[in-house]
Amino acid sequence: MTQVQRPPAISAPTGRGDEVEIAILAPRFEEHAFPWRQIFGYAASLILTMAALLLVVHHVLPPVGLIVAILALATIQASLQLGLFMHLRESLGSTWHVVTLALAIVVALGIVIFSIWIMSFKSGVS
Amino acid sequence: MAQLIAKLFPSTVLRPMEIGADASILLAVLAVVYILTRYRKWGWLWREWITTVDHKKIGIMYLIAAIVMLFRGGVDALMLRTQLALPNGHFLGPEHYNEIFTTHGTIMVFFMAMPFIFALFNIAIPLMIGARDVAFPKLNAISFWLFAFAALLFNMSFVVGGSPNAGWTAYPPLTELHFNPGVGENYYLIALQITGIGSIATGINFLVTILRMRAKGMSLMKMPLFAWSALVTSSLVIFAFPALTIALALTMLDRLFGSTFFTIAHGGMPMMYVNLFWIWGHPEVYILALPAFGIFSEVVATFSRKRLFGYAAMVGSLVAITLLSYGVWVHHFFTMGAGAAVNAFFGISTMLIAIPTGVKIFNWIFTMWGGRIKTTVAMLWQLAFIPTFVVGGATGVMLAVVPGDYQFHNSYFLIAHFHNVLIGGVVFGLFSGLYYWWPKMFGYMLNERQGKWAFWFFVIGFWVTFFPQYLLGLKGMTRRIYTYPHGMGWTLLNLISTVGAYAMGIGFIILVYSVVYSWRHQERDLTGDPWDGRTLEWSLPSPAPEYNFAVLPEVTERDAWWEMKQAGKTGRIPAKDVHSIHMPRNTPMPFLLGLSFFVAGLGAVFSWWYVAVAGMMGVFIILVSGWFDYHDHHEIPAEEIRRNEAALGRLEG
Residue of B532, B575, B539, B533 whose CA lies nearest to B555: B539
Whether A21 sits inside 8 A of B580 (CB atoms) is yes
Q: Distances from the Cα of B216 to the Cαs of A10, A94, B327, B535, B556, in angstroms? A: 10, 20, 36, 15, 9
DSSP B610-644: HHHHHHHHHHHHHHHHHHT----EEEE-HHHHHHH
Looking at beta carbons, which residues of chain B come within 8 Å of A107?
239, 326
The domain tally of chain B equals 1
Mean pLDDT of A37-65: 91
User: In the predicted model, is pLDDT for residue A126 greater than 50?
Assistant: no
User: In the predicted model, is pLDDT for residue A29 greater than 70?
Assistant: no
Asked if the structure places residue B365 within a domain, the reply is yes
Looking at beta carbons, which residues of chain A come within 8 Å of B211?
96
Looking at beta carbons, which residues of chain B come within 8 Å of A118?
275, 330, 338, 342
Average pLDDT over chain A reads: 76
Backbone torsions φ then ψ of B281, nearest 5 degrees:
-65, -35
Domain ranges of chain A: 93-126
Predicted confidence (pLDDT) per residue in A71-83, tens digit: 999 999 988 888 8
Predicted confidence (pLDDT) per residue in B517-546, tens digit: 999 988 888 889 999 999 999 999 989 999
Asked if the structure places residue B586 within a domain, the reply is no
Percent of chain B at pLDDT > 70 equals 100
Q: How far is CA B503 from the centre of its chain?
A: 22
pLDDT of residue A96: 72
Q: Give the pairing type, strands B633-636 and A20-22.
A: unpaired
pLDDT of residue A13: 42
Check if B503 contacts A (Cβ < 8 Å).
no
Distance CA B492, CA B498 (A): 10
Name the band, by pLDDT with cuts 50, 70 and 90, for residue A6.
very low
Whether B577 sits inside 8 A of A15 (CB atoms) is yes
Interface probe with A: pick from B279, B286, B551, B631, most Cβ of A within 10 Å:
B279
User: In the predicted model, is pLDDT for residue A27 greater than 80?
Assistant: no
Asked if the structure places residue B389 within a domain, the reply is yes
Helices marked H in B401-447: 402-408, 412-421, 428-442
User: In the predicted model, is pLDDT for residue B317 greater than 80?
Assistant: yes
**Which range, A4-8, B25-29, B473-477, is most confident?**
B473-477
pLDDT of residue B56: 95
* Residues in B 226-265 with any Cβ partner in A closer than 8 A: 235, 239, 243
Whether B337 sits inside 8 A of A125 (CB atoms) is yes
CATH number at residue B344: 1.20.210.10
Mean pLDDT of B178-203: 94
- Report ipTM (2 d.p.): 0.82
Least confident of B1-5, B280-284, B442-446, B596-600: B1-5
Asked if the structure places residue B635 within a domain, the reply is no
Mean pLDDT of B391-404: 94
Residue A9: CA atoms inside 13 Å, Cβ hemisphere, count? 7
DSSP state of B530: T
Whether A121 sits inside 8 A of B336 (CB atoms) is yes
pLDDT of residue A15: 43
Are B145 and B118 in contact, with CB atoms under 8 Å apart?
A: no
Closest CA in chain A for residue B140? A24
pLDDT of residue A30: 64
Asked if the structure places residue B367 within a domain, the reply is yes
User: In the predicted model, is pLDDT for residue B428 greater than 80?
Assistant: yes
Which amino acid is located at B258 in the chain? G
Q: Which of A25, A104, A121 sits opposite B342 (nearest CB)?
A: A121
Predicted confidence (pLDDT) per residue in B560-616, tens digit: 999 999 988 888 888 888 889 989 999 999 999 999 999 999 999 999 999 999 999
* Residues in B 573-602 with any Cβ partner in A closer than 8 A: 576-577, 579-584
Predicted confidence (pLDDT) per residue in A86-116, tens digit: 777 665 566 777 777 888 888 888 998 999 8
User: In the predicted model, is pLDDT for residue B410 greater than 80?
Assistant: yes
With b for 16 or more beta-carbon neighbours within 10 A and e for fewer, the A91-117 pattern comes to eeeeeeeeebeebeeebeeebeebbeb
Predicted confidence (pLDDT) per residue in B93-114, tens digit: 999 999 999 999 999 999 999 9
Looking at beta carbons, which residues of chain B come within 8 Å of A123?
none
CA distance B356 to chain A (A): 20
User: In the predicted model, is pLDDT for residue B638 greater than 50?
Assistant: yes
Backbone torsions φ then ψ of B314, nearest 5 degrees:
-65, -45
Residue of B585, B592, B649 whose CA lies nearest to B623: B592
Domain housing B356:
295-479+496-524
CA distance A32 to chain B (A): 15
Distance CA B560, CA B214 (A): 12
List CB contacts of B256: < 8 A, sequence separation 6 or more. B186, B604, B607
Whether A25 sits inside 8 A of B209 (CB atoms) is yes
Q: Which of B554, B576, B583 sits opposite A15 (nearest CB)?
A: B576
